[in-house]
Structure formats: C-alpha cells, structure tokens
Structure 1
C-alpha cells in the first residue's frame, strides 16, 4: 500500500526531529567534553603557574636570608676588627709608656752602668768575632770605657775567646736613644744592636701574647697555648 504524501511528510518530520535531537545531544556532549578538557587544562596551567610563583618566592626568600647572613657576618667581622684594633692601640700606648720610662734607667748611674756591662757582654756573644767596632751615645762613652774590661772578661769566661775592641768616636749613636751599644765587624758586614730600645722591642714582641691575655683574658678561639 503506497504512502500518502501526508504520511511521507510525517515520517520526514519525525526523522528530522530525531536527527536534530541526536545532533543536539552530540553538541552537548562535545561542549561538555570541551568544558571538561578546558577546566583540566586551566587547572594544570594554574597549578603550573602556582608552582612557578612558589619556587620564585622560595628563591627570593633564600636570597634574602643569604643576604642577611652575609650582612650579619660582615657586621660581626667589622666589630671584631674594631675590638682588635682597640686592643692593639691599647698595647701600643703601653709600649710607648714603657719607652718613655726607659729614660729613668740612665738616671741611676750605678744601675745603668751594670746594665750597660751586661748589654756589652751579650753583644760580644751575639757577634762572636775576634775584632769589633763599638758604637755608643757620646754621653755614655766614659761608661763604656769603664765597663769594657769586665765585659770582655765575661765574654772570655763564657766562650773561651778573646776580642779586640775599638770605640768609634766619630759615629756615635743618636742622642735621642736612651742607651746601650751597637757592634759591628771592621768591614761592617755583621752588625748587632743592643740598645735599650732594641731590647725593649725584643722583650715586648715575646711578651705581647702574655700581655694580651693579662689585659683582655684568654682567647676562647685559641685551642692550644703557644
């Protein structure tokens, strides 16, 4: 039985409606899928950027922390240097005072004469030559002449050697020196200084560690005593 035009139109309309519905559902499915994928990608990108931002600020925080440590270390070192300089300045003042007080040694002639004899005998032992030229202050020339025999005798007793001396009357030690003697070989190749200033310098260099400990206490950073 043949379909009428009306029946054909109904079937076509029904098919079109079904196709439209299928298409709409497919569109909705595609849109839902696209929305889901978009949200997933957006979440991934947001998380990625969040991680980058967190890493950036962590680096910045570490840099700030490192800069603070360096600054604190520099400030601590600067403070230590200031303390050390103040201590060394204090020791220098004490040594300068000691130099000023050397002048009092020569005021007591008997005491200074005994000291001069010891310095001269020691100088003989240090230079240990058979012939020496002796220099002293012009003010001490008469004292040196007086103590030479006993100083030579002391040297001979200690070493078993004799020494021939000559007092240099043309080249005295500077008058600003406190006292003592200098000796040299005739050719000038060997020279030994045993002035009071030189002795003070030598003694102070040996005593500075002990002096520091006496004035400022033991260094907590020093593991072993010298």
Structure 2
C-alpha cells in the first residue's frame, strides 16, 4: 500500500521531532558535562590562585617580620651606641677633671706624703732589685727620702732581702709631672713609673678595657 503525501509528511515530522529531541538531550548532556568540567576547572583554578595568594602573603609576612627584626636590631644598636657614647663622654670628662685636679694632690703635705709612701713601696715590690734609683720632682726630694726611710725596713721584712736606694738629684722628673716617682733598677733598663699621671693613665686603660668587654 503506497504512502500518501500526508503519511510521508507525518513520518518526516515524527523523525524530525525525534531528531530534535535527541539533539536537545545531547545538548543538555554536553551542557551538563561542560558545566561540570567548568566547575572542576574553576575549583582547581580557585584553589591554585588561593595557594598562590597564601604563599604571596606568607612571603610578604616573612619579609615584614624580617624587616621588623632588622629595624629592631638597628634601633637597639643605635641606642647601644648612644649609651656607649654618653658613657665614653662621661669617662672622658671624669678623666679630664681628674687630670686637672692632680696638681692639687701634692699641695696637701700629709696626704701627699702618705701617697708617696705607697708609691715607693709598690716600686720596691715591683722591681725586687737589691739596688734601685728613684727620680722625683725637685720639690719632692725630702718627701721621697722620708718615704724611702720608712719603707726600707718594711720591704726587708717582707722579702727577707736588703735593698739600697738612691734618689737621683741630678735628673728629675719633667716639670709638667704633677707628682709621684719613677723607680729604676741598677742599670736603668727597667723602670716602674709611679707618677700621678701614670697611675691615672692605668685607671683610664682599665676603664676602657672594661668598656670594650661590655661592647663585645
């Protein structure tokens, strides 16, 4: 039985509807898959970027912390240097004041005589020589002689040895020396400087050495 045009048209429409439905379903399937792949890729990209951002800010945070540490260290060093500078200035002022007042020490006969006694005896002990020569200022010869006379017995008793002491009355200490003595062995090659200036310089070196120990 031959199909009429109407039947053909009907079958064509039916096939077209079927094809259209299949196409729509395929499009929906593709869209769904594309949406799924998009969401997966989007999630991957978001996670990747989030990790990059976290790494970036973590790096920045470390840089900021390092910068803070450097700044803190610089500030501490600057403060430390200011403290040391102030301390050095104070020590310098004290030493300068002490140098200015050295000359006043010799103006008090009682105190100066007692000081010379200690300087003379220390000179004996540091040299430990049987014969020594003492140099002093010309105005101090009598004070030094008295100190020698007092300390010879003390020295002999302490070291169980004799000592001969000569006060050099031809070569005196320089005029700028404020006081004290220099003690030499017999041939003059060994010297113990116990002038007021040398004692002050010894104190200054000890103070500076202590300062250096603090710095290091």
TM-score, length of structure 1 as denominator length = 0.74
Structure 1 unmatched ranges of 5 or more:
209-226
Task: Give the match for residue 46 of structure 1.
Answer: 46
Matched, 1:4 2:3: yes
Does the 8 Å contact 1:134/1:168 carry over to 2? Answer: yes
Aligned counterparts of 1:122 and 1:68: Cα–Cα separation in 2:
56
Matched, 1:140 2:102: no
Task: Give the match for residue 165 of structure 1.
Answer: 165
Aligned counterparts of 2:59 and 2:202: Cα–Cα separation in 1:
56
The 3 A distance-change label for structure 1 pair 149 and 52 is same
Deviates more, 1:144-153 or 1:18-27: 144-153
Deviation of 1:138 after TM superposition, in Å, equals: 3.6
Task: Give the match for residue 116 of structure 2.
Answer: 116
Secondary structure class of the residue paired with 1:52:
helix
1:177-216 Cα shifts (integer Å, max 9, x gaps): 211111222344533222223334556777x6xxxxxxxx
Deviating above 6 A after TM superposition, structure 1's stretches of 4 or more consecutive aligned residues are none
Deviates more, 1:122-131 or 1:102-111: 102-111
Q: How does 1:85-104 map to 2 (within 5 A)?
A: 85-104=85-104
Does the 8 Å contact 1:138/1:175 carry over to 2? Answer: no
Structure 2 unmatched ranges of 5 or more:
208-216
Task: Give the match for residue 15 of structure 1.
Answer: 15
Aligned counterparts of 1:26 and 1:171: Cα–Cα separation in 2:
124
How many residue pairs match? The answer is: 206
Deviation of 1:123 after TM superposition, in Å, equals: 0.9
Matched, 1:196 2:196: yes
Does the 8 Å contact 1:136/1:179 carry over to 2? Answer: yes
Deviation of 1:45 after TM superposition, in Å, equals: 0.6
The 3 A distance-change label for structure 1 pair 180 and 17 is same
Deviates more, 1:11-20 or 1:34-43: 11-20
